[in-house]
Structure 1
Amino acid sequence: MQQHYLNHANPTNGGVVPNPSTGTRSQSNLDEDWLLIAGIVLAFSQLGFGFLEAGSVRYKNAQSIVIKVFLGLCLTVLIYWLFGYGFSYGDDFGTYFMGGTKLGAYNWSATETQNDYSNFVFRATLSCIGVSIVSGGAAERLTFLAWGVLALFYSGFVSPAIVHWTNKDGWLTKLGYKDFGGAGFIFYSAGVAGLIVTIVSKPRKYRFEQNSSLNFQAFSSIYVAFGTIILFATWMFINGGQIQSGQSTPYIQGLVAVNTLVAGAVGGFWSFITRYFTKETTSLFSISRGILAGLVVSSAAPHESQIWATSIIASIAGIIYTLSATALPKVKLDDPVQIVPIFLHGGFIGILFTGLLDINGGLFYGKGMKLLGCQLLGLLIITVWVAFFVFFILIVLKGFGVLRIDSDTEVAGIDKEKCNYEAISFTNEDHQQVNIIKTVSY
């Protein structure tokens, strides 16, 4: 049994663990340096998402989707500095809704109990990850204007509210809801947003028309694999960066890292196995995205899960990813980056199974139904909040006629029409042979 370190005080989202010897809050310079380093490393996750999304779309749109990832990064950092950080971590004056201080870096401080500068770097880059996920739901369809507006609205208002509710003093956390590294407040919420974007923007032109011979083959499984391994490495800092008081909880750091590593490996393995036995083929797309699904579930409670429990949850995530990735096109859901199977389903599984297998509150440990009920409530609140506001802003954009690219641009490719040239060019490309029948297989 691992209870000697699993039963340490819970370092919740954004919190500082009390010093066990004095009962007071303290952070060393080493802890602050670790938080800052984690935030810097998380910036590299944007490269991972760039590879992941460029490899998942058609080659004629590879440049435009990476531009959207980087545009989301720029806009998120700016809006998070002005509003998002304050909304997430500012004082809410007893309303429990959203913070109202620390806006625009006003009254930021660096003290023994709180360093807003280091915390901003980590939290802003973490928020950028959520926005990059949402961009996958907009792949090959949204205009740059529509994407920019959505990114600002999501990272400046929609996501910070959820973060505020689930941080150490948030009302959901006080009820008993647990989400250590963002399985709910980052990945599940972004997955819900991506689903709404995919539904409202509708499938890519001719995607599900039987008489169409337009090529919808994803550009490069190698790019997806490159992006996955970059994200695998940075995920250690997504989860590990949440430990902001490593000296008072020295064993938790290692447990979080091990659970993260194991979850990614197990998710990829079971995705591979499921694909092999259901379709009798292998797929680099499948094993790569299965790894990501496993990593998503690891963010729910890696500090309070035994390793065997994490492996079970990640196995379920890998299997569900493969099955749902196959099923979603059958219901005409056009999700080329697989945002729904990876992040929405993965986040849901991670949060749900925390209510069952969390060693300090899970039902299977004889702790009753309270945590499971709180987890389900949290998922419901996140779903309703994100779905309502993302749907609202998309409908407004659609009403102004700026939501989706025009048909000619969609067929020719966004790179060629809106980015001056295609990022990927083939010297032997025959433009007279554009409509080639190919099987889309993820």
Structure 2
Amino acid sequence: MEDIVQLQYALDTFYFLICGVLVMWMAAGFAMLEAGLVRTKSTTEILAKNIALFAIASVMYLLVGYYIMYSSESSILPSLGFLIGGENALDEVLAGGDEAPYYSNRADFFFQIVFAGACMSIVSGAVAERMKLWAFLAFAVVMTGFIYPIQGAWSWGEGWLDEIGYSDYAGSGIVHMAGATAALAGVILLGARKGKYGPNGQVNAIPGCNLPLSTLGIFILWMGWFGFNGGSELKISDVESANNVAQVLVNTNMAAAGGLIAAMIVSRILFGKTDLTMTLNGALAGLVAITADPLSPSAFAAVLIGAVGGVIVVFSVLGLDKLKLDDPAGAISAHGSAGIWGVLAVPLTNADASFGAQLIGVIAIFAFVFIASLIVWSILKAVMGIRVSEEEEYEGVDIAECGMEAYPEFTSAKK
């Protein structure tokens, strides 16, 4: 019996860690997606932001974030004691009992770290091309160490949202809407890129520099999402859990497909052309939408949930442009608008969820993250400034903030 328990423990821990690695790989997807959607003169800084924010998220979540999010007494999700030589988790397993953990506590900690990093990655693309690098990194400290874990504790940390029945399997609201909401607060204070909006209300397209790179980014995110949603089952060592993981991965894939196809069709109808950037964000919106509950729907229902997300993201991008809210990567729409839809769609296929609890969760998370982020952004704006000068923006934030260009031969030749 002891050998079986140890085998299950090892298998679940290994599965958890591999899923965490897949989610960490999503950081590369965000970096590639955003690097392709900005101009050549903004590429180096967007790459610097994406790799630095993951490092900051890792350290801040170790120091305070994990404790804030999971500080309640629990043998499955303990506080930081295990990081400084706490009780061996396997001893707890062998002791028996329903509350014994299925996997290493350190594996859970690693899995939670990469979620915090993913949440902050969403902010990066929305504030691209005009934000100071160090202002962004300062916000990342607060976002990953405090804002994200506080609202995460309300549900995943067995807090008040969990008590009223709020359901968010892998984080359409907790991760994606939260990141998009923080981005929205930043975009409002930051303002649009120069030349994005004309005096008569026209919207001027600012094309990205490398759509092949953005497409690669979506493929990476699509792949990483199997760990994002699949790992949220938490274990795989029994028949029920294994079947659940299979269902989750199938639904995750089908929702992405549904979102992509829907966005492609809508963009063709609206613009008379097939807009690749809308198509890419359609896949992303489908993934975000299904994340709130990738287990309950049938595969076809997952396609429909993703498709609605794909439609929403197109109209959301257009709506934000009408409001003159400049989001170069479409992150607020793909993660925020589609994230809200995903949370509210849970009761459609999950009889244990209620629309009232889901709505309360959306409102609470949005209100807290928006107000907290607006306060932090405002403090940063007053203390160090959050936007580069007009001259630096024209020259490019790569030179202004990083002192180097991503494509020096290409940009030099153009000059």
Higher helix share: 2
Change (3 A) 1:122 1:208: same
Q: Secondary structure at the match of 1:181?
A: coil
Q: Secondary structure at the match of 1:421?
A: coil
Is the 1:141–1:404 contact (alpha carbons within 8 Å) kept by the matching residues of 2?
A: yes
Is the 2:267–2:273 contact (alpha carbons within 8 Å) kept by the matching residues of 1?
A: yes
CA deviations over 1:260-290 (Å, ceiling 9, x no partner): 0000001000000111111110122111110
Correspondences of 1:146-295 after superposition (within 5 Å)? 146-167=135-156, 169-210=158-199, 216-248=206-238, 249=240, 250-295=242-287
Change (3 A) 1:427 1:342: closer
* TM-fit CA distance, 1:413: 0.3
Correspondences of 1:114-125 after superposition (within 5 Å)? 114=101, 115-125=104-114
* TM-fit CA distance, 1:182: 0.8
d(CA) in 2 for partners of 1:404, 1:234: 32
Q: Secondary structure at the match of 1:398?
A: helix
Partner in structure 1 of residue 64 of structure 2? 83
Is the 1:297–1:317 contact (alpha carbons within 8 Å) kept by the matching residues of 2?
A: yes
Partner in structure 2 of residue 358 of structure 1? 349
Partner in structure 2 of residue 139 of structure 1? 128
Change (3 A) 1:110 1:181: same
Moved more, 297-306 or 202-211: 202-211
Gaps in structure 2 of 5+ consecutive residues: 94-99
d(CA) in 2 for partners of 1:265, 1:333: 28
Partner in structure 2 of residue 435 of structure 1? none
Correspondences of 1:331-370 after superposition (within 5 Å)? 331-355=323-347, 357-361=348-352
Q: TM-score, normalised by structure 1?
A: 0.84
Q: Secondary structure at the match of 1:245?
A: coil
* TM-fit CA distance, 1:27: 5.5
Q: Secondary structure at the match of 2:89?
A: coil
Matched to 1:169, the amino acid is E
% of aligned pairs identical?
A: 28
Change (3 A) 1:238 1:92: same
Count residues in correspondence.
394
d(CA) in 2 for partners of 1:400, 1:230: 37
Partner in structure 2 of residue 71 of structure 1? 52
Change (3 A) 1:168 1:399: closer
Partner in structure 2 of residue 320 of structure 1? 312
Moved more, 52-61 or 200-209: 200-209
Q: Secondary structure at the match of 1:150?
A: helix
Q: Secondary structure at the match of 1:241?
A: helix
Moved more, 225-234 or 118-127: 118-127
d(CA) in 2 for partners of 1:219, 1:92: 50
CA deviations over 1:133-170 (Å, ceiling 9, x no partner): 11122211221221111001000000011221111623
* TM-fit CA distance, 1:216: 2.7
Moved more, 255-264 or 207-216: 207-216
Q: Secondary structure at the match of 1:179?
A: coil
Partner in structure 1 of residue 11 of structure 2? 30
Partner in structure 2 of residue 437 of structure 1? none
CA deviations over 1:5-35 (Å, ceiling 9, x no partner): xxxxxxxxxxxxxxxxxxx9x9521111100
* TM-fit CA distance, 1:427: 4.2
d(CA) in 2 for partners of 1:303, 1:51: 29
* TM-fit CA distance, 1:75: 0.5
Is the 1:79–1:152 contact (alpha carbons within 8 Å) kept by the matching residues of 2?
A: yes
Q: TM-score, normalised by structure 2?
A: 0.89
Is the 1:110–1:117 contact (alpha carbons within 8 Å) kept by the matching residues of 2?
A: no
Matched to 1:147, the amino acid is F
Change (3 A) 1:306 1:215: closer
Matched to 1:233, the amino acid is M
* TM-fit CA distance, 1:210: 4.5
Is the 2:19–2:111 contact (alpha carbons within 8 Å) kept by the matching residues of 1?
A: yes
Partner in structure 1 of residue 394 of structure 2? 411
Gaps in structure 1 of 5+ consecutive residues: 1-23, 94-98, 363-370, 433-442
d(CA) in 2 for partners of 1:194, 1:292: 17
d(CA) in 2 for partners of 1:428, 1:220: 14
Structure 1 residue 422 and structure 2 residue 405: aligned? yes
Matched to 1:219, the amino acid is C
* TM-fit CA distance, 1:336: 0.4
Is the 2:135–2:384 contact (alpha carbons within 8 Å) kept by the matching residues of 1?
A: no
d(CA) in 2 for partners of 1:324, 1:34: 36
CA deviations over 1:71-130 (Å, ceiling 9, x no partner): 10110000111111111112279xxxxx99417934555333342211111110111111
Matched to 1:410, the amino acid is E
Q: Secondary structure at the match of 1:169?
A: coil
d(CA) in 2 for partners of 1:426, 1:349: 44
* TM-fit CA distance, 1:223: 1.4
d(CA) in 2 for partners of 1:103, 1:132: 28
CA deviations over 1:48-76 (Å, ceiling 9, x no partner): 01111111111100110110011101100
Change (3 A) 1:215 1:105: same
Is the 2:252–2:290 contact (alpha carbons within 8 Å) kept by the matching residues of 1?
A: yes
d(CA) in 2 for partners of 1:272, 1:56: 18
Is the 1:269–1:290 contact (alpha carbons within 8 Å) kept by the matching residues of 2?
A: yes
Matched to 1:183, the amino acid is S
